[in-house]
Amino acid sequence: MPPTTAEASLAAMRAAVLGDAVLGDAPPADAAAAAEPSGDIGDFIEAAGLLSYDPAAITRIYAGHPQRLLRRLWQTLVPIGLYLLAVASDRLSGALRQPERARARARECAALLADLGPAFIKAGQALSTRPDIVPPVLLEELARLQDQLPAFPSDLAMACIEEDLGATVAELYGQLDAEPISAASLGQVYRGSLPDGRPVAVKVQRPGLREQITLDLYIVRNIAVWLMANIGLIRSDLVALIDELGKRVFEEMDYFNEASNAERFAALHAHNHRIAVPAIHRSHTSRRVLTMEWIDGVKLTRLDAVKALGVDPEELVEVGVNCSLQQLLEHGFFHADPHPGNLLALADGRLAYLDFGMMSEVARESRNGLIRAVVHLVNRDFDKLSKDFVTLGFLSEEVDLRPIVPAFETVFSQALEAGVSRMDFKAVTDDLSGVMYRFPFRVPPYYALIIRSLITLEGIALSVDRDFKILGAAYPYFARRLLEDDDPDLRRSLREMLFDGDHFRWSRLENLVLSAANQQQLDLEQLLDQTLDFLFSPGGGLLRQQLVDAAVERVDAAGWRLLLTLGRQLPRQLRPPGLQRPLRGAGGRDPLLDLEPVRELLRILRQLPGFEVGLLTRRLPRLLREPDLRRMGLDLARGLAERGVVRLVRDVMVEPDLRRELDIAQPA
């Protein structure tokens, strides 16, 4: 839609007001201090010294020195106000009800945030993961918000390196490019080498960044305080959202923190020969300068270039998906920003992760809660699924879940028709965003980053394979975790998935086992051990009872067939009444291997690659040591004894005709 004259005027006014608001041309700290009036020098320097996000300290800095604050307010609130007036005008005229107009205003909002600088870019990115606050159309546009700004002058970058590392660039590096290879909102990257020739990437923070960020956070936080106090329609805690954003941005601005993240990530995935992480050079790293190993590779989304390396892009996508799921469900420490620029395909077939500024952690309770939610989703138990959202912190305990349950059923039922492995993750999250916007949901920060990470990963994978489904790729890993992990919570979740009341669902076990078999890391030995652990755990009581009942029935049937066979060998006058005329249908299959649990388990195991009977026979000594196996033997003997007494009285000592009459009158 072409811009109107009024829109063009609004854009021109906004550009004039913003002026030097974008930090791309910000002067170095000493030059900025010299240019500032004396009342601003103290707050500028004090803000530069803040090493962690502290709202009270930021308030003290700027509340007493209003000059810089007023200028920044003019640069931000005027264009924001002009934009809100335009949106209000569209709403009053009804134009906002047109999808094209709503989309255009959403794009304009994203562009405005990009113009306002780093803090607003980060705020927009944070809001792009908050369906409880932002309507769906704006959510999509904010998700496309680019984290890019013009590069700042390289002489300022070199001055920052020398100031922080205490030596000249020539002493620190054998070579360093004069121009950056990339620039983003927080810093820019140069290619170079150490004096010994090792290639490195050097990330240098924008000058004046911490001061600009603290000022913008102060402004945005106070706007959030006013909105919470005066706009009753806002359900979510905007102040808490800004504080979470501030905490994460300060973590990103501390390159010591990013260096530690990279080292921790590398240690957690050291066993995975398909994952590469650049080594950190601590001697050449400070809070504003990060020197790391240079890694040659191509973006995973550049399919032709990846194939030219002799690497299969689909295989690398699978490596990335498995690594992301391991980060999320196993380690609880995950890369929250896996965009195409941060994932490189290497010539040796490895997938390299870059940029560890935005990482997040998920507590074990939350990880298990996510798996429980998937179990309830697969089981279509939407009532329990709604309670999972309470446990995970999306809903308060006071919220009435009754209207939410049918909303979940509407969102998920159709998507589940083709099975969880074919579910369209993006479509489901979009529909779920609508539910979260209508009901009093509060999206936890860790969940927002998880969704952002998975949607980004799915977007990369779709560029490689148009039919890719993130949940389909995730399900084998999920199945393996559910089968192999001995965590009590996951044991209970496995039991809940496999049992429908007292009935064991063999089809679900088969689906889990065969899905887990798609994982290259599947350990058959461990899987069998975990299966035995489950069988002899408190949660396996129903399955053990089913096994005993089936054994009693089959052994009793086999004994009856043997008795009939022996009875036919006796002279007729010596046969008991019940054996005078053998019943039809006395034949049957081999009793022990015909036990449903044994038969079904063997059928499933035989489908696994690498399975052989020796895997089972080697576990016989362990089986014989199980106390529950001895109890099962006693239950089997007791059941057979009871059946034997019934057989003796009903089937052996009673005439067949009379027995049939009794069976009709009162079935056994």
Q: Measure CA 654 to chain center.
A: 66
Instruction: Determine which helix (DSSP H) or strand (DSSP E) holds 188, and give its type and residue range.
Output: strand 187-193
Instruction: Give me the residue label for tokens 């309830």.
Output: 376
Q: Could you tell me which residues come within 8 angstroms of residue 146 by beta carbon, excluding any fewer than 6 positions away?
A: 114
Instruction: Determine which helix (DSSP H) or strand (DSSP E) holds 664, and give its type and residue range.
Output: helix 656-665
User: In this structure, what token pair is assigned to residue 484?
Assistant: 């192999």
d(CA 162, CA 169): 6
Instruction: Determine which helix (DSSP H) or strand (DSSP E) holds 69, and give its type and residue range.
Output: helix 66-93
Question: How far are the Cα atoms of 38, 170, 210, 246, 247 from residue 50, in angstroms, in the given order?
Answer: 20, 30, 8, 12, 12
Chain length of the chain: 668
Question: How far are the Cα atoms of 268, 371, 400, 530 from residue 490, in angstroms, in the given order?
Answer: 22, 8, 27, 12
Catalytic residue among 337, 431, 485, 556: 337
Of 447, 143, 465, nearest in space to 301 by CA? 465
Question: How far are the Cα atoms of 410, 472, 474, 598, 611 from residue 604, in angstroms, in the given order?
Answer: 34, 20, 21, 10, 10
d(CA 574, CA 565): 14
d(CA 262, CA 268): 10
d(CA 153, CA 42): 25
SS3 track for 541-582: HHHHHHHHHHHHHHHHHHHHHHHHHHHHHCCHHHCCHHHCCC
Q: Could you tell me which residues come within 8 angstroms of residue 529 by beta carbon, excluding any fewer than 6 positions away?
A: 619
Q: Could you tell me which residues come within 8 angstroms of residue 402 by beta carbon, excluding any fewer than 6 positions away?
A: none
Of 474, 241, 243, 262, nearest in space to 358 by CA? 262
Of 335, 340, 362, nearest in space to 266 by CA? 335
Instruction: Answer whether 105's CB lies under 8 Å from 88's CB.
Output: no
DSSP 333-396: EEES---GGGEEE-TTS-EEE---SSEEE--HHHHHHHHHHHHHHHTT-HHHHHHHHHHTTSS-
d(CA 133, CA 523): 44
User: How does DSSP classify residue 197?
Assistant: S
**Phi and psi torsions of 359, nearest 5°:** -120, 160
Of 213, 209, 188, 192, nearest in space to 201 by CA? 192
DSSP reduced 3-state for 332: coil
Query: 400 catalytic, yes or no?
Result: no
Of 201, 457, 156, 484, nearest in space to 328 by CA? 457
What does the radius of gyration of the chain's CA atoms come to, in whole angstroms? 33
Q: Which residues are catalytically annotated?
A: 337
